Amino acid sequence: MADKKTRTLSELGEFGLIRALTDDIILRHPGSRKGIGDDAAVLDHNGFLTLVTTDLLLEGIHFDLTYVPLKHLGYKSVVVNLSDIYAMNGTPLQVTVSIGVSSKLSLNAIEEFYKGIKLACNQYEIDLIGGDTSASVNGLIISVTALGTAQPQQIVYRKGAKKGDLICVTGDLGGAYMGLMLLEQENKLFRKDPAYKPQLDGYQYILERQLKPEARKDLGRMLLAGRVKPTSMIDVSDGLSSDLLHICEASGTGSRIFADRIPVHSETRKLAEQLRISPNVATLNGGEDYELLFTVAHEDFARIQLIEGISIIGMMTGREDGHLVEFEDKSTILMEAQGWNAKQKWEEL
Amino acid sequence: MADKKTRTLSELGEFGLIRALTDDIILRHPGSRKGIGDDAAVLDHNGFLTLVTTDLLLEGIHFDLTYVPLKHLGYKSVVVNLSDIYAMNGTPLQVTVSIGVSSKLSLNAIEEFYKGIKLACNQYEIDLIGGDTSASVNGLIISVTALGTAQPQQIVYRKGAKKGDLICVTGDLGGAYMGLMLLEQENKLFRKDPAYKPQLDGYQYILERQLKPEARKDLGRMLLAGRVKPTSMIDVSDGLSSDLLHICEASGTGSRIFADRIPVHSETRKLAEQLRISPNVATLNGGEDYELLFTVAHEDFARIQLIEGISIIGMMTGREDGHLVEFEDKSTILMEAQGWNAKQKWEEL
Least confident of A246-250, B73-77, B100-104, B234-238: B100-104
Compute the distance between CA of residue B121 and CA of residue B127 in angstroms, rounded to an integer: 6
**Closest-CA distance of chain B to residue A172, Å:** 26
- B48 to A53: CB separation less than 8 angstroms, yes or no: no
The answer to whether the CB atoms of A56 and B100 lie below 8 A apart is yes
Say whether pLDDT at A349 is over 50: no
Highest mean pLDDT among B131-135, B137-141, B206-210: B206-210
Contact of A260 with chain B, judged by CB distance below 8 Å, is answered with no
Q: Which of B97-106, B157-166, B193-202 holds the top average pLDDT?
A: B157-166
Checking if the pLDDT of A45 tops 80, the result is yes
pLDDT for res B231: 98
Q: How far is CA B288 from CA A261, B23, B242, in A?
A: 57, 26, 12
The answer to whether the CB atoms of B94 and A128 lie below 8 A apart is no
- Per mean pLDDT, which range of A223-237, B186-200, B292-306 is the poorest? B186-200
Interface of A with B in 29-68 (CB under 8 A): 29, 31-32, 34-36, 40-41, 43, 45-46, 48, 50, 52-56, 58-62
Nearest chain A residue to B40 by CA distance is: A130
CATH number among 3.30.70.1710, 3.30.1330.10, 3.40.228.10, 3.40.50.300, domain B31-150: 3.30.1330.10
The SS3 assignment for A287 reads: coil
Mean pLDDT, residues A300-306 taken together:
97
Which residues of chain B does CATH 3.30.1330.10 include? 31-150
pLDDT at A347: 47
Q: What pLDDT, on a 0 to 100 scale, did the predictor assign at position A338?
A: 59
A129 Cβ under 8 Å from any chain B Cβ: yes
Task: Compute the average pLDDT of residues A184-200.
Answer: 91
From residue A177, how far is each of A163, A180, A184, A316, B157 by CA, in Å?
30, 5, 11, 26, 46
Above 50 in pLDDT, residue A54? yes
User: Per residue in B149-159, pLDDT tens?
Assistant: 999 999 999 99
Which residues of chain B from 225 to 254 reach within 8 Å of chain A, CB to CB?
Answer: none
How does residue A8 score in pLDDT terms, banded at 50, 70 and 90?
A: low
Q: Is the pLDDT of residue A2 over 90?
A: no
pLDDT at A236 over 70: yes
A-facing residues of B in 88-127 (CB < 8 A) are: 93-94, 96, 98-103, 105-108, 110-111, 114, 118, 125, 127
B10 by DSSP, 3-state: which?
A: helix
- Enter the DSSP assignment of A313: E
A275 alpha carbon, distance to own chain's centre: 24
Residue B212: name the closest of B166, B255, B175 by CA.
B175
Q: Which residues between 139 and 178 in chain B have a beta carbon less than 8 angstroms from any beta carbon of chain A? A: 139, 141, 143, 145, 147, 149
Residue B341 predicted with pLDDT over 60: no
Sequence-distant (6+) residues with CB within 8 A of B175 are B205, B206, B209, B210, B265, B267, B268, B282, B289
Q: Which long-range contacts (CB under 8 A, 24 or more apart) does A28-35 make?
A: A28/B125, A28/B127, A29/B93, A29/B94, A29/B125, A29/B127, A31/B93, A32/B93, A32/B94, A32/B127, A32/B129, A34/A157, A34/B129, A35/B127, A35/B128, A35/B129, A35/B130
What does the pLDDT average to over A122-144? 94
Mean pLDDT value across residues B227-249 = 96
The answer to whether the beta carbons of residues B203 and B179 sit under 8 Å apart is yes
Q: Please tell me the pTM assigned to this model.
A: 0.93
A55-150 CATH:
3.30.1330.10
Rounded Cα distance between A176 and A283, Å, is 10
Closest CA relative to residue B244, chosen from B325, B180, B179: B325
Question: Whole-angstrom distance between the N-terminal and C-terminal Cα of chain A?
Answer: 25
Mean pLDDT of B87-116: 94
Instruction: Check residue A189 and give its pLDDT.
Output: 92
A176 within 8 A of A188, measured Cβ to Cβ: no
Contact A98, B56 (CB under 8 A): yes
Q: Which helix (H) or strand (E) holds A294?
A: strand A292-296
In the three-class reduction of DSSP (H, G, I as helix; E, B as strand; rest coil), residue A92 is classed as strand
Q: Give the minimum alpha-carbon distance from A333 to chain B in angstroms, rounded to a whole number.
A: 29
In chain A, ranges of CATH 3.30.1330.10 domains: 55-150
pLDDT exceeds 50 at position A341: no
**ipTM exceeds 0.85:** yes
Give the lowest-confidence range in A183-187, A317-321, A342-346, B88-92. A342-346
For the beta carbon of residue B344, count every other beta carbon within 10 angstroms.
16
Residues of chain B with C-beta less than 8 angstroms from the C-beta of A105: 9
Tens digit of pLDDT for each residue in B109-121?
999 999 999 999 9
What DSSP line would sit under B122-184, residue for residue?
HHHT-EEEE--EEE-SSS-EEEEEEEEEE-TTT---STT--TTPEEEEES-SSHHHHHHHHHH
Which residues have a Cβ under 8 Å from the Cβ of B317 and sit 6 or more positions away? B163, B253, B254, B255, B256, B324
Nearest by CB to residue A93, choosing from B29, B132, B143, is B29
Domain limits, CATH 3.90.650.10, in chain A: 166-347
Mean pLDDT in residue range B71-96: 97
Q: Cα torsion at B145, B93, B227, B31 (round to 10°)?
A: 70
Give me the CATH topology for the region A166-347. Phosphoribosyl-aminoimidazole Synthetase; Chain A, domain 2 (3.90.650)
Which chain B residues are Cβ-neighbours of A143 within 8 angstroms?
54, 56, 98, 143
Per-residue pLDDT at A269 exceeds 90: yes
Neighbours of A41 (CB within 10 A): 27
User: CB A139 to CB B137 under 8 A?
Assistant: yes
Give the pLDDT score at B3. 45
Q: Find the helix or strand (DSSP H, E) in which B333 lies.
A: strand B332-334
- The dihedral through the CA atoms of B62, B289, B158, B254 has a sign that is negative
Q: What phi-psi label fits residue B322: left (phi over 0), alpha (psi between -120 and 50 degrees) or beta?
A: left
What is the pLDDT at residue B8? 65
Using 50, 70 and 90 to split pLDDT, how confident is the model at B182? very high
Residue A232 pLDDT more than 60?
yes
